[in-house]
């Protein structure tokens, strides 16, 4: 069976592959990560920003594929992904500091936003590349300043899009979701399993 390479430094994606009991190696891209510019997000959405999100995920997979880290004689499936939070046509990225995190959560609370993840899988033996996207709608509760401050004091959010994580203490901010829970964590598992199956990898065997 082909080995699985996770082209991501995200601990959540690593945890989710472990949840599926899929043996894998973590080899994140060493280059500067491509991003969809937040200041042009509304224009990007009108032009179908999902294509740009796929390009970011594709870049991560190709970066690892062309690196010297892979074993050349060992066929692999490289999994890469990128996740963004979108509120009313605006991309909400990762906060640089706690003040920015509070502004993000204040903006998100009481509203419904979308979480989009692009997944790409690259077969190093055949050069086949498969990419897809998943969308989940997240409804947040109305949050007081005290609740936001308490959450930010209890959770590390600087590396998280939208300044929150749905798992753990972040559940206190969520009213309900429509769609895949794991997508909000950064890796929609049902879609991933389907894509792997179409590329000849069945982890249940």
Domains of the chain: 3-198 (3.90.950.10)
Print the SS3 string covering the chain: CCEEEECCCCHHHHHHHHHCCCCEEECCCCCCCCCCCHHHHHHHHHCCHHHHHHHHHHHHHHHHHCCCCCCCCCCEEEEEEEEEEEECCEEECCCCCHHHHHHHHHHHCCCEEEEEEEEEEEECCCCCEEEEEEEEEEEECCCCHHHHHHHHHHCCCCCCHHHCCCCHHHHHHEEEEECCHHHHHCCCHHHHHHHHHHCCCCCCC
99 is catalytic: no
pLDDT tens, position by position, 100-159: 999 999 999 999 999 999 999 999 999 999 999 999 999 999 999 999 999 999 999 998
pLDDT at 203: 77
* Catalytic residue from among 39, 48, 73, 82: 82
Instruction: Supply the pTM of this predicted model.
Output: 0.89
């Amino acid at each position: 069976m082909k080995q699985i390479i996770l082209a991501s430094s995200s601990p959540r994606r690593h945890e989710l592959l472990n949840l599926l009991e899929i043996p894998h190696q973590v080899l994140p891209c060493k280059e500067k990560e491509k991003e969809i510019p937040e200041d042009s997000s509304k224009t990007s959405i009108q032009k179908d920003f999902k294509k740009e999100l796929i390009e970011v995920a594709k870049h991560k997979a190709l970066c690892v594929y062309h690196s010297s880290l892979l074993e050349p004689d060992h066929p692999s499936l490289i999994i890469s992904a990128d996740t963004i939070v979108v509120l009313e046509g605006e991309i909400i990225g990762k906060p640089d500091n706690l003040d920015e995190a509070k502004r993000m959560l204040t903006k998100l609370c009481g509203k419904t936003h979308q979480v989009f993840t692009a997944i790409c899988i690259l077969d190093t033996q055949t050069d086949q590349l498969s990419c897809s996207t998943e969308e989940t709608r997240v409804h947040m509760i109305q949050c007081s300043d005290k609740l936001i401050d308490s959450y930010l004091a209890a959770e590390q959010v600087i590396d998280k899009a939208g300044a929150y994580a749905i798992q753990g203490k972040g559940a206190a901010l969520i009213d309900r979701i429509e769609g895949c829970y794991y997508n909000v964590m950064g890796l929609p598992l049902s879609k991933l399993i389907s894509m792997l199956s179409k590329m000849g990898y069945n982890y249940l065997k």
